[in-house]
């Protein structure tokens, strides 16, 4: 089976005895309450999703990631995973001290052993990470909204405090056990933020022709009004897998993380995450993690080429759609017909139909998937 990124699958979850020992002194520590996105990062560090990271990045790793897309060790890594704190907390802690970490509801979840406290050049970081300093870019806005100081250091997570969300919430260690059980040597990963439509099914099955198994991972993170609910995405995929995939060919699991909207950098990041789950291949979208017109269609491919081998093979596919003349789902590469013969899987169109309780045409979405979604009380996130 493929090695995790950096060769070792990180596990920062400590034993019950050690957890209780640290909990007994927790009230004496300066503490930080994580928001939902930072909670995702903490959990992903703890269970190895972000291997080889063992904690939140210190100054040297942060600067290397921003400028060179590597950690200080030289291992490829494209996005900063940082813990931001306000001036008050930064003034009260020093390197060498321990800080307590709480979930958003206040429950203690673990600790950080602080090894650095630092500021950063906001404009330079935005320009390097997102290719722009435009405040209309959601990634730029998110970075600018952070507190002025970052705290770096390795984490320890209490053994019984990491949140789990149902059967599809599996760790890299658990995924690797499943892949071994299914006797999969090669696995392709697919990430999505939407309910399944026929074009994505086509991409997944095209990749599945060449590997042993498929890992489908909806990104379950911060939502905005109008986004599909987690239940709509997961139950839609459950229906698709049950009705249209061979038994034992697909694993469906969640990837709990925010969107960075970092385009090519995020494509590399997402591929590294799937490598840690045990994937040997990863499907990279034409405008992967893009937003607006900030990134070109093939920038992700160029960045993969520039970085070199990250230990997982990116798969690039052309845009897929239904062609009336071909009478099936095809791609730009294999369809010779004019665009007036094409039915594109427009996200806006599908959302509009589902919001009106309409079943989209079978050329765009499997009827079983649509009917499953429409039985839900909440298909879209509301205000």
Catalytic residue annotation = 192-194
In whole angstroms, give the CA distance from residue 383 to residue 226.
8
Q: Is the distance from CB of 194 to CB of 347 less than 8 angstroms?
A: yes
């Amino acid at each position: 089976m493929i090695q995790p990124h950096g060769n070792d699958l990180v596990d920062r979850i400590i034993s019950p005895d050690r957890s209780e020992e640290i909990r007994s002194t927790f009230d004496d520590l300066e503490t930080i309450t994580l928001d939902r996105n930072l909670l995702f990062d903490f959990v992903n560090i703890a269970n190895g999703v972000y291997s080889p990271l063992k904690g939140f990045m210190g100054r040297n790793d942060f600067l290397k990631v921003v400028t060179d897309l590597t950690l200080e060790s030289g291992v490829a890594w494209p996005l900063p995973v940082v813990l931001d704190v306000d001036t008050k907390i930064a003034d009260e802690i020093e390197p060498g001290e321990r800080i307590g970490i709480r979930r958003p509801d206040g429950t203690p979840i673990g600790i950080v052993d602080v090894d650095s406290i630092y500021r950063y050049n906001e404009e330079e970081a935005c320009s390097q990470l997102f290719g722009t300093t435009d405040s209309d870019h959601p990634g730029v806005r998110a970075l600018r909204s952070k507190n002025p100081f970052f705290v770096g250091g390795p984490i320890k997570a209490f053994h019984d405090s990491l949140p789990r969300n149902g059967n599809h919430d599996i760790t890299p260690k658990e995924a690797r056990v499943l892949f071994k059980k299914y006797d999969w040597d090669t696995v392709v990963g697919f990430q999505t933020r939407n309910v399944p439509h026929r074009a994505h099914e086509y991409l997944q099955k095209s990749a599945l022709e060449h590997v042993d198994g498929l890992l489908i991972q909806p990104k379950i993170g911060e939502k905005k009004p109008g986004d599909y609910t987690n239940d709509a995405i997961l139950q839609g995929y459950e229906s698709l897998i049950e009705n249209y995939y061979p038994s034992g060919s697909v694993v469906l699991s969640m990837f709990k993380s925010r969107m960075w909207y970092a385009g090519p950098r995020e494509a590399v990041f997402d591929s590294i995450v799937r490598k840690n789950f045990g994937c040997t291949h990863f499907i990279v979208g034409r405008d992967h993690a893009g937003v607006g017109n900030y990134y070109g269609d093939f920038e992700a491919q160029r960045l993969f080429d520039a970085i070199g081998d990250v230990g997982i093979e990116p798969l690039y596919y052309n845009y897929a759609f239904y062609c009336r003349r071909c009478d099936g789902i095809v791609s730009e590469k294999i369809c010779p017909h004019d665009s007036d013969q094409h039915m594109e899987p427009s996200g806006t169109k599908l959302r509009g139909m589902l919001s009106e309780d309409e079943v989209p045409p079978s050329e765009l979405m499997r009827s079983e998937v649509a009917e499953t979604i429409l039985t839900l009380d909440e298909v879209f996130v509301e205000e």
